A and B are shown apart, each in its own frame.
Chain A
Amino acid sequence: MKIKLDRTICDGFGTCAARAPALFSLDEWGYASLARGLSAETDLPRELEQAARRALLDCPVHAITERTQAR
């Protein structure tokens, strides 16, 4: 599973970091990026996929997507 966080959409709710703290890092204003060392090209470890899905589904602005093919 690969995920993409679109930071042009993120509104800083912070839900992702609550659901999957290993995958997301927040700045001091609450805006998210993928945690250091991760990118949209990273194949997530299987044990983190459940948390990633929770973060994806619970993001109020749908800034997180699962990557399929080129997107």
Chain B
Amino acid sequence: MPTLTTGAHPAARPRLLRDQAGREDRAAYEATGGYRPGLAGTDLIDAVAASGLRGRGGGAFPAARKLAAVASQDGEKVVVVNGEEGEPASVKDRWLLRTRPHLVIDGALRAAQAVGARTVYFYASDAAAVASLEAALAELGSVPADLRVHPVEACYVAGEETAAVNAINGRPAKPSEKPPRPFEAGVGGLPTLVANTETIAALPGIGRGATGQGLSFLLTLGGAVPRPGLYEVPFGIRLGEATEILGGLAGPARGYVMGGYFAGLLNPRGHDLLLDHDALRAEGSGLGCGAVTVLGADDCPVGVATLLLAYFGRQNAGQCGSCFNGTAAMAAVATALARGQAGAAEIARLAHWSGFLPGRGACATLDGAAGVTATLLREFPAEVDAHQRDACPHCAATDFLATSSPFALTPDSITPPVEA
């Protein structure tokens, strides 16, 4: 695992990253204005709406609408802070919980007040994040909510919102069919706000009236870059500008993997695209959780897609037949393509699945896998075509079954922040 750097883009006033190394304790957080009273109730939700904040788990759903949907339900409610970062190429949520637990707790208390919840669960698998949260809760003293840490076994689907609810309800951490969504019936059957850690971490700033809270995000940058790391950058800058400012590239980018694994592949045109949910979606890609992997000279797009499909084939929940069959089938045919054993008929099957399978699972895992296939065919048609005829030295050197989580990063080795 590479050593990671943290830093902020010059145009982003960092609100989530800290300029000091190490874990922020309660005193240090309060010294920056943390835990002070601020906007509450519908005033807070209105301010969240004005900030433009969207869910940072990957779905980019407007945060204020989610808050309001839970707040409008009758009776007791629950808040779940989702720190189960299933995307292996992303480190932001684990970093926030390990390093700034009080920022997250402060945000959770404000969310609980706004929606009318008495109970808050912090849901995470990362042992260091869980320890950091427990230490922070011990430092906290009396607060107007019951705060609980709920550890879970790590896997790709455990971070899905209904999987989080199921885990807390004592069932396997696997997604459910919708409806109901958690805002209708979640933990204990009660209306439940399940919100990503980075989303929750924006609430203290919004509650204190700070502007620009919805305007920057945490970018996990990995792959063929000399300074992989966790960076706070403004929405809407070009991807190429971000990589140039944040340490440059190790060589010409062969392409990109977007949104963790979920938004699939982009060819080098990604350099000129904007890091913005809507702009990327319009190009058939996505920002998702904000993790971008740069592909270098030694990364073959066909091989990368095969690694990702093999991962989805292993890491799906094993529940929906279209998903466990579809991911396995796409992984098998992609492996054949990478090995030079596929022809036009196999490529046509991949194209069919990439259009037919989305929407056929209870969660979005199958959509992500189908998207990997679709983006491989769309972004790299010449490479796909060439694999029908010519043996690919990069793919020949890759053991597609042995690579468990391609391009995975951990916050274990984050260095003290430096000036970007």
**Contacts of A8 on B, CB cut-off 8 Å?**
174-177, 317, 319-320, 362
Inter-chain contact A7/B184, CB cutoff 8 Å? no
Q: Are B322 and A33 in contact (CB under 8 A)?
A: yes
CA distance A11 to B174 in the complex (A): 17
Of B174, B177, B360, the most chain A CB neighbours within 10 A belong to: B177
- Complex contacts, B320 vs chain A, CB 8 Å: 7-8, 10, 31
Residue B185 interfacial (CB < 8 Å): yes
A71→B177 contact, CB < 8 A: no
Interface size on A, residues (CB 8 A): 19
The docked-state distance in angstroms from the alpha carbon of A7 to that of B359 is 11
* Contact indicator A12/B179 (Cβ below 8 Å): no
Within 8 A of B (CB), among A37-71: 40-41, 67, 70-71
When distances are taken between beta carbons in the complex, the residues of chain A under 8 Å from B59 are none
A4 in contact with B179 (CB, 8 Å) = yes
Known: A7-B320, A27-B326, A70-B184. A33 touches B179 (CB 8 A): no
Decide if B180 touches A27 in the complex (CB within 8 Å): no
- Write out the residue numbers on chain B whose beta carbons fall within 8 Å of the beta carbon of A40: 178-179
Say yes or no: is B72 at the interface (Cβ < 8 Å to chain A).
no
Within 8 A of B (CB), among A1-28: 4-12, 27
In the complex, the chain A residue whose C-beta lies closest to that of B319 is A8
In the complex the two chains form, is A7's CB within 8 Å of B325's CB?
A: no
B61: interface (CB < 8 Å):
no
Contact B179 A7 (CB under 8 A): no
CB-contact partner of A31 in B176, B178, B360, under 8 A: B360
Would you give the shortest CB distance from B185 to chain A, in whole angstroms?
Answer: 6
Pull 13 A–B residue pairs with CB atoms less than 8 Å apart, ordered by A.
Answer: A4-B179, A7-B320, A7-B322, A8-B317, A8-B319, A10-B320, A12-B321, A27-B321, A30-B321, A31-B360, A40-B179, A70-B179, A71-B185
Enumerate the 6 nearest inter-chain pairs by beta-carbon distance, A residue then B residue, closest first: A31-B321, A8-B319, A6-B177, A7-B320, A29-B325, A70-B184
- 12 more A-B residue pairs beyond the given contacts A7-B321, A30-B321, with a C-beta to C-beta distance below 8 A: A6-B176, A7-B360, A8-B320, A10-B320, A27-B322, A27-B325, A31-B322, A33-B360, A40-B178, A70-B179, A70-B180, A71-B179
